[in-house]
Structure 1
Amino acid sequence: MRMRRMARTLVVVGAAAAVLAACTSPDGDGGTADPSDEASSTADPTDAVVDHAVATFAVVDEEFRVELVTEELVAHAQQLLDGEDIAAIPLGDVVRDDPGVNSPWSWHLDPATVEFAFATTEVCDGLPSFVEDGTVTSDQYCPWSAEIVSLEQMP
């Protein structure tokens, strides 16, 4: 009796494995699908991932620009433009005496340190002109009232 029960269990397990194997391939033959078939049928060359862009932020009546160098940051900025309720305060280390993409200001945020936050310390808050004139003395800049106004893809 015990041998018969084990045999039935093996048959059921074997049948389940066969079903699962058949499900792993789009053509149901249990083989390995050719990844190029699916990529060529679903890929849209206009859907290229943007991993380098410049975001422009308005802070009261001033603007500043931030270089975004990861796919995640660019996607986050696009979500902000689309009105999603996500972390919106741009935050990064200030690089003084080099405007980078942030001309006409004489400073920019180090792209390697840029992130978005829900809340930050008050010491890095202020207008872009406060960074320019030294009122914001912190090594970081994080304007609480910043609102993204545009996102431009960079070559």
Structure 2
Amino acid sequence: MATATRFAFTQPSSPGVEFIIELTDDATIAHARRILSGDEKNEIHVHGRIIKQRVPYNPKFSFHIDPRTIRFFQMAIEVCDANMVYVEDHLDEAGGAFLPGGHWCPWDSKLTRELKE
């Protein structure tokens, strides 16, 4: 089991707002670090299943992404694409017609940094 490692991502559609994710899988952590170093140029956007619960490492939001479900993608279906602020504002609708199954894949997500504890 990997040591939990946190990363931030932004979306141009939400300027100045960061979303923090926690990764707990060695391969996914290594992939995230390759994105940040510029070695990974294809599968660079964040995907995962949201949990409607606030976590201490991401206090600006009432939800987080389940670390066990986080992967990175190049292309995804439109139905899981949404802006982080929009998700927060419509969290009660998430999991139904909006973000079916709680899957969130913001197409414009850009990993920006690894958080150092």
Pair 1:53 & 2:8 matched: no
**1:142–1:90 Cα change, 3 Å:** same
The Cα shift of 1:63 comes to: 1.7
Determine which structure has greater relative contact order: mean sequence separation of CA pairs < 8 Å that are 6+ residues apart, divided by chain length. 2
Normalised by the size of structure 2, how large is the TM-score?
0.80
Gaps of 5+ in 1: 1-49
Instruction: Write out aligned runs for 1:70-149 (5 A).
Output: 70-84=25-39, 85-134=41-90, 137-138=98-99, 139-149=102-112
Deviates more, 1:71-80 or 1:117-126: 117-126
Considering fraction of residues, name the structure with more strand.
Answer: 2
Which residue does the alignment assign to 2:22?
Answer: 67
- For the 8 Å contact 2:61–2:88, the answer to whether it is kept is yes
Q: Percent identity?
A: 27
Between structure 1 and structure 2, the one with the greater Rg is 1
Letter of the 1:102 counterpart: N
Gaps of 5+ in 2: none
- For the 8 Å contact 2:45–2:111, the answer to whether it is kept is no
Query: How many residues are treated as equivalent by the alignment?
Result: 105
Give runs of ≥4 in structure 1 deviating > 6 Å.
Answer: none
**SS class of match (1:149):** strand
Letter of the 2:24 counterpart: V
Deviates more, 1:145-154 or 1:81-90: 145-154
**Alignment RMSD (CA, Å):** 1.8
Deviates more, 1:117-126 or 1:64-73: 117-126
Which residue does the alignment assign to 1:13?
Answer: none
Q: Distance in 2 between matches of 1:125 and 1:140?
A: 9
The Cα shift of 1:130 comes to: 1.2
Considering fraction of residues, name the structure with more helix.
Answer: 1
Normalised by the size of structure 1, how large is the TM-score?
0.62
